[in-house]
Amino acid sequence: MKDTIDSYVTADGRTIGGVMMEMKNITLRFGGVVAIKDISFDIREGEIRAIIGPNGAGKSSMLNVISGFYHPQEGEVWFRGERRPTMKPHNVARQGIARTFQNIALFNGMSVLDNVMTGRLTQMKTGIIAQSLWYGRAQKEEFQNREIVEKIIDFLEIQHIRKTPVGRLPYGLKKRVELARALAAEPKLLLLDEPMAGMNVEEKEDMSRFILDANDEFGTTIALIEHDMGVVMDLSDRVVVMDYGKKIGDGTPEEVRNNQAVIDAYLGVAHD
Amino acid sequence: MIYRESGDYSTTYAQDSQTFPIRFDRYRFYAVVFVAYCIIPFIINDYWASAIFVPFLIYAIAAIGLNILTGFCGQVSLGTGGFMAVGGYSVYKLMTSFPDVNIAIHVLLAGLITAGVGILFGLPSLRIKGFYLAVATLAAQFFLVWLFNRVPWFYNYSASGMINSPERTIFGYIVTGPSTEAWAKYLICLVFLTLCAVLARNMTRGTLGRKWMAIRDMDIAAEIIGVDPLKAKLSAFAISSFFIGIAGALFFAVYLGAAEAGDSFGITKSFLVLFMIIIGGLGSIFGSFAGAAFMVLMPVLLKNVLVGQLGWATDLAAHLEFVIVGALIIIFLIMEPHGLAQLWRLAKEKLRLWPFPH
Amino acid sequence: MPDQFLFAIEVMINGLMAGVLYALVALGFVLIFKSSGIFNYAQGVFALFAALTLVGLQEGQIPFSHLINAIFGTHIHHFGWHIHSVIAIAMTVAVMVLLAILVERYILRHLVNQPDIILFMATIGLAYFMEGFGDLMWGSEIKTLDIGLPQGGSFWIEENTAWLGGENFYGFFIDRLDIVAAIVAAILVLALTLFSQYTKQGRALRAVADDHQAALSVGISLRYIWVLVWAIAGIVALVAGIMWGSKSGVQFSLSLIALKALPVLMLGGFTSIPGAIVGGLIIGVGEKLFEFTIGAPFLGGATENWFAYVLALLFLVFRPQGLFGDKIIERV
């Protein structure tokens, strides 16, 4: 295996560990359409890994494979040294993989606080009967988790909208609440599907800061899809480039920037 | 002036997540409980009990049940009547098979049996969604009513096909059967309603409620953040049916005294309870109360005014009631999908600022 | 041939005929669902309302006479004339079109972009409203509807099939009205197909069914299409109402056939016209045969009440998109 080197330290002083997640020869088809074709790559402990590519390249499908929503026809998913069997999405979440969505998928009928609290669901264990009595363990658990959630809310600076129904929030704040919900799960791996789509420069700067801080403070490994190249090049440690369901590049931002296949894919060359 | 929250600060999470965080609300709630338990039982008579209070209390339990499934978990059910029938017939079989056991235990057991049946008919919800599921719950409605009509074991082979509630007591007071006094009917229903409301409130404010609401608002996202849809939906079906079963048991044993599946638990019951939660407010425990009160009171009022005062024929009044109910459903869905409960909240927000709205 | 077998065939044929009528109601559902994504629970009540209106117009009843009498103490009931059934039908069509316009104006327009389930519940409200309104307008007593369709068993079929069986078999009993219904249904489906394939409105309708946004962007008026579709569904409801009303009288139970059309839709898929027809026939035949072979002998009868629902339910668990529906690929 090529990735047997253990941890190393980046220029800005963060420690990148060994391989956390490895995708091996993933192929995903919908009927006759091949969305992902024989793609392999890995994500290392503590790194920020970007997946880029033109529209329709299969990036979101790849994220859906990682979060267990789509099941590839071929290939293996390895997570923390073990091969992951075909798994329902909610069990994947229990393994410590959280995500945000390209088109915001918040629970519109609930308040911001409740939305973020749903991020803690995988950690809460009291049964129905204990909960229905709202006494002792159930109450204690609720408040312990509330404390963690409040910290995340502080971290993302959304205290003031805590009790607001999510449906009433503007787009940028919704994106932030969604990140809060994902972070509340204290995930080992955080998947971000276009976290900055449709944002203005200021909002993008805020979001970048939150992503970097989350990676730094909580040590969360992050895989993100993003179209804004400036952001990708600034944030990520390594980049996978996809085009038409195939991998055409993989490496540090510097390497990818100089990769001829990537330049062709983005600028377009005559296909023969 | 009359409604103030300033000076009410929560300093613990417990205070922040209590049912009535505002002191004024809390006191009003205590006042309502006091009147319900300590005043009404002494002044209630047969007319008020049978026309208004007892049906209101029982329907409120059913509405809480359906609201958990539809309002909180987003699964529309048209099988409420059928599940109430399960509660009614279960309690009948239990009462006649084990006459020595306390009726309160029978009612709870009837709720548990209904919960089991609810899980069974909830299983398709894992594969089918939305109105497909609503139609599928009609299968429960029609099959269950047919079952209780056609299988003589359920009505103890009685010649009429009816079931009759035998006389049972709690603490020596008769609570079921024809010679039950108004206050006893009222109190037993009130106790069960209180119990159900407290349980429902606790379940909906914690983890379980958030799982249900997550499934309701966006089921795919809920699954990806770690909600097991199987457990969430089936628990909603089970708990909803538990309450509806209790409502059905009380409806038969305490309120009707004699019942026949098709007449007492037909599809109209399913719609009645659905309308209660739409008008009262989807996803609100208080809304279940408001909706039940509204749907119980409105026909009584209409009948009193149109038939009693103006001398209309009863069927004419009934038709007008259909028109009004139908129009109200549409109006509420258009103007205020959160129902009376939301109107109440808005009124409170206005009152909070009154008389200085700026 | 053994009698039992022949009876079973007769039951099956009658089931097919009932299935045609289910399919007629289901057709109205499919039309509305395809073009507006609304599951119109009120379709059955539309059939009832259409039939009530037809009878009322034919008989020269004064609308709201009971209500007027109750308020003003008068004793009016009829205008005292009879209208020819063809004119009455034309007038009823006009009423159904007006109804479509009102529904669009006062309900649909205000519920655009609401979740499907809210719209569904709104149509339940509409069903209640129309039911009460129809009864207020025309009275709730059972009425006979006679527009001159042939009725009663066909002697010709009965005589000419008698030779098939033994001494207990007198030939197949088939109601002539059922045959008429089958023919009318076939014509209706053909007409609808031609309409949607070869007219401008039909193309617009299919465009809307395919993609609302895209249809809007090429200048199709969604409101117009909705009125059109609801009007067509109202006319389909009128046809269904005439058939059912001629068969068993115009009464409340007519609105319950709508409920029977629901499992038909679940079988056939909500968006498929062939599905509605095949589903209707399967349910019609299935419930009659089940009652004949298992229900009546072993289960105490009246299994028609639930058979269709349970069948559809079991079917859906294994094939959620119905017989002809498309497979659903979920996205996030």
Neighbours of C331 (CB within 10 A): 12
Which candidate, A101, A144, A145, places its Cα nearest to that of A121?
A145
Query: If we measure between CA atoms, which residue out of B66, B58, B62 comes closest to residue B237?
Result: B66
Dihedral of alpha carbons C226, C232, B137, B54, sign? positive
DSSP structure class, residue C143: B
* Mean pLDDT, all residues of chain A: 89
Q: Which residues contact A182 (CB under 8 A, 6 or more apart)?
A: A98, A99, A100, A119, A190, A192, B225
Whole-angstrom distance, CA of residue C19 vs CA of residue C185:
11
Which residues of B are less than 8 Å from A98 in CB distance?
225
* Residue B333 forms part of a structural domain: no
pLDDT at A2 over 60: no
Chains touching chain A, criterion 3+ CB pairs below 8 Å:
B, C
Give, for B164, the enclosing helix (H) or strand (E): strand B163-164
Give the tens place of pLDDT for each residue, B315-335: 888 889 999 999 998 998 888
Instruction: Tell me which chain C residues have a C-beta less than 8 angstroms from the C-beta of A30.
Output: 329
pLDDT confidence of residue C9: 82
Taking only residues 4 to 43 of chain C, the set having a beta carbon closer than 8 angstroms to any beta carbon of chain B reads 39
Cβ partners under 8 Å of residue B4, min gap 6: B24, B352
Instruction: Give the model's pLDDT for residue B244.
Output: 98
**Out of B216, B226, B239, whose CB is closest to A93?**
B226
Residue C237 lies in a domain: yes
Give the residue on C whose Cα is nearest the Cα of B221.
Answer: C332
Residues of C with Cβ-Cβ distance to A103 under 8 angstroms: 332
Let me know: does B246 contact B110? Beta carbons within 8 Å: yes
In this predicted structure, the answer to whether residue A94 has a pLDDT above a threshold of 70 is: yes
Query: How many structural domains is chain C composed of?
Result: 1
Please provide the average confidence, as pLDDT, over all residues in chain B: 89
The whole-number pLDDT of residue A116 equals 95
Q: Do the Cβ atoms of C172 and C157 come closer than 8 Å? A: yes
C317 contact A CB<8A:
no
Tell me if chain C has a CB within 8 Å of the CB of A101: yes
Ranking B349-353, B354-358, C219-223 by mean pLDDT, the lowest is: B354-358
Number of independent structural domains in chain B: 1
pLDDT of B35 above 90: yes
Mean pLDDT of C144-149: 79
Measured in degrees and rounded to the nearest 5, phi and psi for residue A221 equal -75, 135
Give me the mean pLDDT over the C26-46 stretch.
84
Which residues of A are less than 8 Å from C332 in CB distance?
A: 64, 69, 101-103, 105
Q: Cβ separation of C329 and A30 shorter than 8 Å?
A: yes
User: Would you say residue B33 has pLDDT above 50?
Assistant: yes
* Rounded-to-integer distance, Cα B118 and Cα C202, Å: 44
CA distance A248 to A264: 10
Query: Which residues in chain B are contacts of C67 at CB distance < 8 A?
Result: 316
Q: C76: closest CA among C88, C89, C64?
A: C64
C186 inside domain: yes
Contact flag A69-C329 (C-beta cutoff 8 Å): no
CA distance readout (Å), A78 to A24, A28, A189, A245, B133: 8, 16, 13, 20, 37
Residue of chain C whose Cα is closest to the Cα of A30: C329
Determine phi and psi for B82, rounding to 5 degrees: -60, -40
Task: Please report whether residue B115 resides in a domain.
Answer: yes
Which of C66, C110, C117 minimises the CB distance to B316? C66
Looking at residue A1, its pLDDT comes to 40
List, for residues B125-155, the tens digit of each pLDDT value. 888 877 778 878 888 999 999 999 989 999 9
Q: Write out chain C residues lying below 8 Å of A102, CB-based.
A: 332
Q: From the centroid of its chain, how far is CA A22?
A: 15
pLDDT digits (tens, 9 = 90+) for A22-66: 999 999 998 888 999 999 999 999 999 999 998 888 999 999 999
β B258-259/A246-251 pair status: unpaired
Sign of CA dihedral B271, B272, B274, B279: positive
* B186-221: pLDDT as tens digits: 999 999 999 999 999 999 988 999 999 999 999 899
- Identify whether B36 is part of a domain: no
Smallest CA–CA distance, residue C252 to chain B, in Å, is 12
Helix, strand, coil share (%) of chain B residues, nearest 5: 75, 0, 25
Pairing state of beta strands A48-52 and B163-164?
A: unpaired
Distance (Å, whole) CA C293 – CA A133: 51
Task: State the average pLDDT for chain C.
Answer: 83
Rounded CA gap, B284 and B71, in Å?
A: 7
Q: Which amino acid is at A185?
A: A
CATH class label, A1-96+188-272: alpha beta
Confidence at B309, pLDDT banded by 50, 70, 90: confident
- Cα torsion B293, B294, B300, B301 to 10°: value is 130
- Report the alpha-carbon distance of residue A184 to residue A167 in Å, rounded: 20
Q: C145: distance to nearest CA of chain A, Å?
A: 49
Are A242 and A51 in contact, with CB atoms under 8 Å apart?
Answer: yes
Question: pLDDT over 90 for what percent of chain C?
Answer: 13
* Domain limits, chain A: 1-96+188-272, 109-186
Q: What is the pLDDT of residue B1?
A: 45
Kindly tell me the burial class for residue A88, based on how many C-beta atoms sit within 10 Å of its own C-beta (0-12, 13-18, 19 or more).
Answer: middle
B352: pLDDT strictly greater than 80: no
Is some CB atom of chain C closer than 8 A to the CB atom of B74?
yes
Other residues' Cβ atoms within 10 Å of the Cβ of residue A80: 15
Question: Taking CB atoms and an 8 Å cutoff, what residues of chain B touch C129?
Answer: 322-323, 325-327, 329-330
Residues C67-92: what's their mean pLDDT?
Answer: 84
Contact by Cβ (8 Å): B216, B73? yes
Residue predicted with more confidence, B277 or A13 = B277
Q: Quote the domain boundaries for residue B175.
A: 48-267
Closest CA to B277 of B108, B75, B115, B86: B75
Structure tokens, B101: 């056991």
Distance CA(B57)–CA(B122), nearest Å, equals 26
Q: What pLDDT does residue B5 have?
A: 61
Amino acid at A69: F
Q: Token digits for A166?
A: 């999510």
In this complex, is the C-beta atom of C332 within 8 Å of any C-beta atom belonging to chain A?
yes
Across the beta sheet with A33-44, what order do the strands follow?
Answer: A33-44, A19-30, A74-79, A82-83
In the structure encoding, which two tokens stand for residue C241, read together?
A: 């109402």
Domain housing C22: 3-318
Asked whether the predicted pLDDT for residue A269 surpasses 80, the reply is no
- Work out the percent of chain B whose per-residue pLDDT is above 90: 62
pLDDT of residue A206: 92
Q: Which residue carries 């009262």 as its tokens?
A: B280
Q: Is A124 on the interface with B (CB under 8 A)?
A: yes
Both tokens of residue C148?
């001159």
DSSP states along A234-252: HH-SEEEEEETTEEEEEE-
Beta bridge mates, A24: A76
The Cα of C203 is separated from the nearest Cα of chain A by a number of Å equal to: 29
Q: Of all helices (H) and strands (E), which one includes residue B243?
A: helix B229-250
What predicted TM-score, i.e. pTM, was given to this entire model? 0.89
Q: What residue type is assigned to position A152 of the chain?
A: I
Burial class (CB in 10 A: 0-12, 13-18, 19+), C58: buried
Of A184-198, B165-179, C13-27, the range with the lowest mean pLDDT is: C13-27
- Strand blocks (E) in chain A: 8-9, 15-16, 19-30, 33-44, 48-52, 74-79, 82-83, 97-99, 189-193, 221-225, 238-243, 246-251
Chains touching chain B at 3 or more Cβ pairs under 8 angstroms? A, C
pLDDT of residue C205: 81
Asked whether the predicted pLDDT for residue C20 surpasses 50, the reply is yes
Residue B358: its pLDDT value, please?
A: 58
Average pLDDT over residues A242-253: 91
Per-residue pLDDT band at C235 (split at 50, 70, 90): very high
Q: Is B241 within the bounds of a domain?
A: yes
**pLDDT tens figures, C155-186:** 777 777 766 666 666 667 777 888 888 888 88
CB A14 within 8 A of CB A46: yes
The reported pLDDT for the residue numbered A91 is 93
B268 contacts in chain C (CB < 8 Å): none
Q: Which of B221, B226, B235 minimises the CB distance to A101?
A: B221
Interface check B321 vs C, CB under 8 A: yes
